[in-house]
Structure formats: C-alpha cells, structure tokens
Amino acid sequence: MITLSALAQSERRQSVGTMYYQLLDEINPMLQNAAAIIKASQRVLVSMHCRPDGDAAGSAIAMLHLLKALNKEVTLFNVDEIPANFAFLQGAEECERSLPQNASYDLLIVVDCAEPRLLGKRFPQDLDVKKTLYIDHHSVPYVGADVILHSAKASAAGELIFHLFNTLAVPITIAVAETLYTSILTDTGSFRYSCTSADCLAVSSVLVGTGLDVWRISSFVYENNPVEKLKLLGMVLPTLWISEDGRLASLHATRDMLRACRCSGAMTDGFINYARSVAGVEVSIFLTQLEEGSYRLSFRSRGNLDVSLIAASFGGGGHKNAAACTVDGDLEDIRQRVQVIIDKIPPNTDCSDTVLRACL
C-alpha cells in the first residue's frame, strides 16, 4: 500500500528531478527559427570571436558536433588558434585557420560574438555566405543576422546551444557535454559570477549527468598553465596600481614583458581578476600593449556596475562585469581617461545604467 506521505515524497522527488528551464519561455521562438535555418542548410561554416575563450571555443566545437550529427558539411574556423587549455575538447583539432579561396556556404553560424567586427581583422571579407545565424548572450544582439538566437540572461552561448541540441533532438554525448560544460564553467567564472542562474545550474546538472569527468575538465582548463604564463604573471603583478580612493585598480603587460616571457597577449587572460580581487576595488582594468601607443584595455567590475557601457564609450563592448576595447594613447593617459569616468560615478557598486550613462 502506498501511503499518502510516500506519494507526496515521490511527487516531490519527481518535480525536483524534472528540469524546468525559465529561459525557454524567452528563447523558444528563436530556437525554432535557428533549428529551421540549420535544417535548410547543407554547407555550414562555424566561427566565433577572435582570441577564443572557453565559451567561444566550447560552443563553436559543440556546434561542430551538432551539425555533424545532422549530416551537414561543416567547417570550423577561427582567425586565432584555440588556446592550449581548450585543446582537449574533442573536435578542437578540426578548427581551421584559413579557408579555401572563393569558398561558399549556405549558412555562417557565429557563436559568442556580439558583432562581425569581433570575428577579427583577419576574418575573410569575401566569403560567399547565403544566410547567417548569430548565437550569443552579450548585452545587445547583432541585428544584422538573418536569424538570432540571443538572450542576455544566458550564462554562456553554450547554455543556448544546449537548448538547440534538445530542439533538434540531437543526443548530448559526453564529448558534447564537455564542450558545453567548458562554456558554462568558464563564462560563470567557475559558477561564481551573478550569471550563475538556476537555469545554468540545471543545464550543468544534465551535462554532468552524462558522465563527464568534472575534474578532468577543471584541470585541463585551469591547471594546465605553461610555465611562461606564470613567469609573465610574476612580471605583471608588480605593476599593480590602485587609485587614491581605492575604487580603480590596474595591471598591465608591455610588449617587452611579453617578449621576455615568450608569451602572446592571450596569455594575460585572467590576470585582470587579481586587480579586481583587491578589497574595495569596484573596477579593474588590464592594459596589454599592442604596439607603441596602443593598448587592449580589459575591464572587470563588481556588482551592478556595467563596464560594457564604459568599454563602449571607447569603441568596444562586452558584458556587464567584463568588457574590452582597444585604445590609443600611453598608459598614464589611458588610465587617467578611465579614472575621470570612475570619479564621476557615485561610490557604490549598485550604480544604475542611467546614472553610469550620465557619467560617460
């Protein structure tokens, strides 16, 4: 005999076990459109923002698997190499860095990229592409695409692609789960940032449930540093600069430092977090010297302060708590320009966008 309390318990267990994805209410029509354009295409090119991070690499490789499962002719392409710490993902080795001349494609799928410019200067401009699909979670969708699968609420582009697998009824193998888990793991800062939603944890739960080895991924992604990177960090940390009021912090890497440590600019990835980690710092910046008088400027913020707006005022973009741009000028001058903005912002990390916009 089943007692009422046992029944209630089993129902509860069932409702806990059934994943409910809030995001689906928002993205369902877009998922249908994305699925339709994929079904209607045969030759597909997949790319992502240049200098790919874990989400860009993970979600682009996930798309490679998805398209292959649907028997599409697929080419994965990026102007830059997939960083060594994501090279363990099955399919990473298929990423091309050049395309045949006059190549033509039915569909170009761009993932984790807010606009075409971010595909990189070396992205071929003369591609014959019939349609474009942009899958992204940056604050503003790229309206120039034929089809958009976008939500700023998604923790990573990989979270959107997880739903695309389900929409197209393509099974998520362990190899696929590894790509999507890497996307989410890296874009949530290992499940620490505010984008770590119930949805993203529910998706991650399903991914881990496929049997993937969480530690295998963490160790490849985070504990796989070339010794050169640690040497560079040793040169970068002494450049720590903090404003008088303690709200703005900066670190930088010059070309000489990169050369001395035999590192590319991409090796500085993550260093900016050391500047933000200082108690009281609201905004941190990292300056990587590109050439004499030109820097790549990355921003990180705490709380509600939307640094993508600050980056946009310098011609860049990104997310609320992580953004970047390229700025001409010398180090002191660039830092001063950022300082002027920060000085105008009322000192609390819950600064609204309206207040921030008025300060730019």
Task: Tell me which residues touch Mn ion (CB under 5 A).
Answer: 55, 112, 156-157, 187
Kindly provide the residue ranges of all beta strands, DSSP E only, lying in 207-307, ordered along the sequence.
241-242, 248-253, 283-291, 294-301
CA 187 vs CA 43, 55, 77, 191, 270: distances in Å: 29, 6, 21, 8, 12
Decide whether 82 or 157 has the Cβ nearer to Mn ion.
Answer: 157
Decide whether 59 or 339 has the Cβ nearer to Mn ion.
Answer: 59
Are 358 and 311 spatial neighbours (Cβ–Cβ below 8 Å)? Answer: no
Backbone angles phi, psi at 163, to 5 degrees: -70, -30
Least CB distance from residue 112 to Mn ion, whole Å?
Answer: 4
Q: Scan for tokens 């881990």, then name that residue.
A: 208
Decide whether 55 or 306 has the Cβ nearer to Mn ion.
Answer: 55
CA atoms of 92 and 191, how far apart (whole Å): 24
Partner residues linked to 108 by β-bridges: 45, 132
DSSP letters for 182-228 = HHHHHHTTTTTSTT--HHHHHHHHHHHHTT--HHHHHHHHHS---HH
Least CB distance from residue 243 to Mn ion, whole Å?
Answer: 29
In the bound state, the residue with its beta carbon closest to Mn ion is 55
Decide whether 167 or 188 has the Cβ nearer to Mn ion.
Answer: 188
Decide whether 145 or 236 has the Cβ nearer to Mn ion.
Answer: 145
Least CB distance from residue 155 to Mn ion, whole Å?
Answer: 8
Least CB distance from residue 247 to Mn ion, whole Å?
Answer: 27
Least CB distance from residue 354 to Mn ion, whole Å?
Answer: 26
Phi-psi region of 169 (alpha: psi -120 to 50; beta: other; left: phi over 0): left
Decide whether 187 or 306 has the Cβ nearer to Mn ion.
Answer: 187
Query: Which uninterrupted H or E stretch holds 69?
Result: helix 54-69
CA atoms of 289 and 295, how far apart (whole Å): 4
Least CB distance from residue 266 to Mn ion, whole Å?
Answer: 16
